Every structure is written in C-alpha cells, then in structure tokens.
Amino acid sequence: MSESVENVKTTVEQVTAASTVAFKDGVEKTLAALNEANTVSKQNLEAVVASVTAATKGAEAIGAQAMAYSKAAFDNQVTAAKALAGAKSVQEVLELQTAFAKSALETYMAEVARMSETVTASMKDSVKPLNERVTAVVERLQAAR
C-alpha cells in the first residue's frame, strides 16, 4: 500500500509540475501577445497621427493657394475696371472686356489645375501612412497562416 501512496504522490507531483509549466507558458504567451498588440496599436496610432498631420498640411497649402489666387484675381479685376472706366469708345470697352475675360478664364483654369495637383499630393501623403499599416497587418496575417 505504501507503494500505491508513493505512486499517487509521484503522479500528483508530476501533474502539478506539468500544470505549473503549462500555466507559466500560457501566461508568457499571453503577455507576449499583449505586448505585440500594444506595439501594433501604437504603430497604428502613429500612422493616424502622421496621416492627420499630412492632411492638415495639405489643407493649409490649399488655403494659402486659394487666398493668393483670390487676392490676385481681385487685383486683376480692379485693374480691369479702371481700364474699362478709362475706355474712349464702345469698341475699346469690348476689346478690354474680352481680353480680361480671356485672361481671367486662363488664370482660373491654371489655378484649378494647380489646386488639383495640391489636393492629389495631399491625399497621397495623408493616405500613405495608413496604407503602410494595412500592408504590414496583411503581411503579418499572411505570415501567420
């Protein structure tokens, strides 16, 4: 009977030791997973901050371009109005008005193209950090398969 007790005692000690090792391994794996999740979350937050920063810079650039265009357009309109006021004939008024309209349209179209380029560049810059994070997550998921 003492041999049975000894066998039970040995079995309990082995189960306890194996349970302890399994528990420690589980805790270590959980902590590692939490650390990795924390790192990924931090990188995602940094990507969002970089994206918002780029979008803000783009908005500032667009605002500055719009203000510069508005000022230049206003100055051109004042100059055209003065020229029209000094016209000596109807023919001269028509020529001045036609020249102003053509110039204003060309300037406007050039400004629209410039603004479009600024918006496109701003969008690319603001989406880039997010795309990089999505790519990293997809690669991590594919590697885990």
pLDDT digits (tens, 9 = 90+) for 117-127: 999 999 999 99
Q: Which domain holds residue 91?
A: 2-144
pLDDT digits (tens, 9 = 90+) for 98-107: 999 999 999 9
* 137 CB-near residues (< 8 Å, 6+ apart): 40
pLDDT digits (tens, 9 = 90+) for 11-58: 888 888 888 988 898 899 999 889 988 998 999 999 999 999 999 999
> How many separate domains does the chain show?
1
Q: What value does the mean pLDDT take over residues 82-91?
A: 93
